[in-house]
């Protein structure tokens, strides 16, 4: 079922659960995540980034396939536009039927980020679509790792009040596109932001954080957990295994199929981990 993000994220926050948000780059990813969500019975966010849309040349083909997979899934699926700073692309997502969008103005001067975020919120809310914004830039989007940025709790509270966003992405020590899971999160800061901010918080760059680190972040107050690179690693390793050696298949289904299966298994494992973040 295609579902809006805000109520799903609020329910997760109230229950102390994390909500998995996985990136869809190819349609097979959406197939993996839908199967994992049905298996675990947990709702999921399928997110398509502005970068992924650029890779395909346009947003509509991958988005329409993902939306159809979401509609036919037996559990709640949010289809979310991830990291968009292009307002035209956000308009396209709203017309296509996305149930959530992220406007990422984290690189803009504060006043401009606020003003544009407010405009996106106004347009999206008219359609019942949720909005995520980012305050305090989470590094690594351009391949440069900078886990040093931090979001101030007071500023975060004022930003949410000012813009009316449904979720807020904050900088607490993670960095995008890490291939090792050794980022150290500032759990005390997560706790202080969660107390100050009335909406669910989003952890970006979660691939760089260990299983235990993500669970601790959820216990401290994080809700939407964005994972992309780690799932790419899992799918690619499985494909690499199938394609190495004698008799490697030529039919693309015979390597993408096992990759899709590996992605499903890891997505389901992560969903279970986020839904039950109690310490062992
Ligand atoms: O918005 C997407 C996420 O922040 C993914 O980051 O590739 O480091 O897991 P990641
Ligand atoms: Zn991100």
ipTM comes to 0.99
Q: pTM for the whole thing?
A: 0.97
Active site residue 82: yes
Mutate to test the pocket of ligand 1, among 226, 231, 274 (most ligand atoms within 8 A of CB): 226
> Which is catalytic among the residues 76, 82, 104, 186?
82
Q: What is the pLDDT of residue 139?
A: 77
| Per-residue model confidence (pLDDT) at position 93 | 98
Give the model's pLDDT for residue 137. Answer: 76
Q: What does CATH list as the number for 5-275?
A: 3.20.20.70
Write down the domain spans for the chain: 5-275
- 3-state SS string over the chain? CECCHHHHHHHHHHHCCCEEEEECCCHHHHHHHHHHHHHHCCCEEEEEEHHHHHHHCCCHHHHHHHHHHHHCCCCCEEEEEEEECCHHHHHHHHHHCCCEEEECCCCCCHHHHHHHHHHHHHHHHHCCCEEEEEECCCCCCCCCCCCCCCCCHHHHHHHHHHHCCCEEEECCCCCCCCCCCCCCCCHHHHHHHHHHCCCCEEECCHHHCCHHHHHHHHHHCEEEEEECHHHHHHHHHHHHHHHCCCCCCCCCHHHHHHHHHHHHHHHHHHHHHHHCCCCC
CB of 204 shorter than 6 A to ligand 1: yes
pLDDT band at residue 280 using 50, 70 and 90 as cut-offs: low
Q: What is the pLDDT of residues 232-250, one digit of tens each?
A: 999 999 999 999 988 999 9
How much distance in Å is there from the Cα of 83 to the middle of ligand 2? 6
2-44 confidence digits (pLDDT tens): 999 999 999 999 999 999 999 999 999 999 999 999 999 999 9
Which tens digit of pLDDT belongs to each residue from 98-111?
999 999 998 899 89
């Amino acid at each position: 079922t295609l579902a809006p993000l805000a109520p799903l994220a609020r329910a997760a926050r109230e229950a102390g659960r994390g909500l998995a948000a996985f990136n869809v780059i190819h349609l097979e990813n959406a197939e993996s995540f839908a199967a994992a969500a049905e298996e675990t019975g947990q709702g999921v966010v399928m997110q398509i980034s502005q970068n992924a849309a650029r890779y395909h040349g346009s947003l509509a083909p991958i988005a329409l396939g993902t939306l159809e997979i979401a509609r036919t899934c037996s559990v709640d699926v949010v289809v979310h536009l991830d990291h968009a700073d292009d307002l035209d692309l956000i308009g396209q997502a709203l017309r296509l039927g996305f149930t959530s969008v992220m406007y990422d103005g984290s690189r803009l001067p504060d006043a401009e980020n606020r003003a544009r975020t407010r405009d996106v919120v106004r347009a999206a809310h008219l359609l019942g679509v949720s909005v995520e914004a980012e305050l305090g830039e989470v590094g690594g989007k351009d391949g440069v790792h900078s886990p040093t940025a931090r979001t101030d709790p007071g500023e975060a509270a004022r930003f949410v009040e000012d813009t009316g966003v449904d979720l807020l992405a904050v900088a607490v020590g993670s960095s995008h596109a890490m291939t090792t899971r050794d980022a150290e999160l500032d759990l005390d800061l997560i706790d202080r932001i969660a107390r100050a901010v009335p909406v669910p918080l989003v952890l970006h760059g979660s691939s760089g954080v260990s299983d235990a680190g993500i669970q601790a972040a959820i216990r401290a107050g994080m809700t939407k957990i964005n994972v992309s690179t780690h799932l790419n690693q899992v799918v690619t390793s499985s494909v690499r295994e199938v394609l190495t050696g004698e008799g490697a298949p030529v039919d693309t289904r015979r390597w993408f199929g096992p990759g899709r299966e590996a992605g499903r298994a890891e997505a389901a494992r992560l969903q279970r981990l986020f839904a039950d973040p109690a310490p062992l």
